[in-house]
């Protein structure tokens, strides 16, 4: 009799294992089918926007008027100019002093299209003014520092780098 009860328990264990495997398979298949439906539904963030279509332009007839590409002003004055050597070239670092606080978006803009003229690279220190009047405050609080990387190839024929502001200019020579 003990053999009979052992074989019944073996069958019960095998039946339970089969039932678990069947339940797992049904769950996996249900999830896979559900993913297919979710992939096509609005719940999937990849479906939130459809394919692009042609749309009318909002540009006026004849196009937009051509404006000066750079609306920024030159900084009032330059207080420091440093050329810092790097393994691949040099970094031009200029410190500008606007008339009041809040100036932003500073950049060194080439006046010679990035090519030296008679060995001189010349840049304007351009900066965007604040949207509303601000305090003058201290010199340190108004300083704006900008940088520009130049490769060794660009520096090959350069003897002088000059940065121009409204009231002054600074130069560094080799």
Residue 20, pLDDT score: 84
Task: Tell me the average pLDDT across 95-124.
Answer: 89
Question: Worst-scoring range by mean pLDDT, 7-16, 21-30, 129-138?
Answer: 7-16
Q: Of 23-37, 88-102, 115-129, give the lowest mean pLDDT range.
A: 23-37
pLDDT digits (tens, 9 = 90+) for 38-69: 666 666 666 655 655 655 656 677 766 665 56
pTM above 0.75, yes or no: no
80 vs 43, residue with greater confidence: 80
pLDDT for 144 equals 93
- With beta carbons less than 8 A apart as the criterion, state whether 78 and 108 touch: no
Under the banding of pLDDT at 50, 70 and 90, the label for residue 109 is very high
Share of the chain above pLDDT 90, in %: 28
> Can you tell me the distance from the alpha carbon of 116 to that of 123, in angstroms, rounded to the nearest whole number?
11
3-state SS class at 79: strand
> With bands split at pLDDT 50, 70 and 90, how would you rate the model's confidence at 108?
very high
Using DSSP, state whether 119 is helix, strand or coil.
Answer: coil
If one compares 100 and 54, the residue with the highest pLDDT of the two is 100
Residue with the two structure tokens 């920024």: 72
Answer with the residue of higher pLDDT: 74 or 5.
74
Beta carbons within 10 angstroms of residue 123's beta carbon: 22
Quick one: how far is CA 167 from the chain centroid? 33
Residue 78: which of 142, 174, 173 has the closest Cα? 142
DSSP H helical segments within 41-57, as ranges?
none
CA atoms within a 13 Å half-sphere pointing along the CA-CB vector of 162? 16
pLDDT band at 17 (very low <50, low <70, confident <90, very high): confident
Query: What residues contact 94, with CB distance under 8 A and at least 6 apart?
Result: 78, 80, 81, 82, 108, 123, 125, 145, 146, 147, 163, 170
Cα atoms in the Cβ-side hemisphere of radius 13 Å centred on 29: 6
Q: What is the mean pLDDT of the chain?
A: 80
């Amino acid at each position: 009799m003990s053999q009979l009860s052992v074989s019944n328990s073996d069958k019960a264990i095998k039946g339970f294992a089969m039932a678990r495997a069947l339940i797992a398979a049904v769950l996996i298949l249900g999830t896979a089918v559900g993913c297919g439906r979710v992939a096509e539904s609005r719940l999937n963030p990849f479906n939130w926007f459809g394919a692009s279509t042609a749309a009318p332009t909002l540009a006026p007839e004849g196009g937009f008027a051509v404006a000066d590409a750079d609306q920024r002003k030159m900084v009032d004055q330059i207080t420091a100019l440093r050329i810092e050597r790097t393994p691949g070239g040099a970094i031009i670092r200029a410190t500008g002093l606007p008339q009041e606080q809040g100036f932003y978006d500073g950049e060194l803009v080439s006046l010679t299209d990035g090519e030296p003229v008679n060995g001189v690279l010349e840049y304007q220190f351009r900066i965007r003014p604040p949207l509303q009047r601000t305090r003058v405050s201290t010199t340190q609080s108004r300083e704006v520092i900008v940088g520009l990387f130049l490769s060794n190839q660009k520096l090959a024929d350069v003897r002088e780098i000059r940065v121009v502001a409204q009231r002054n200019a600074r130069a560094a020579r080799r």
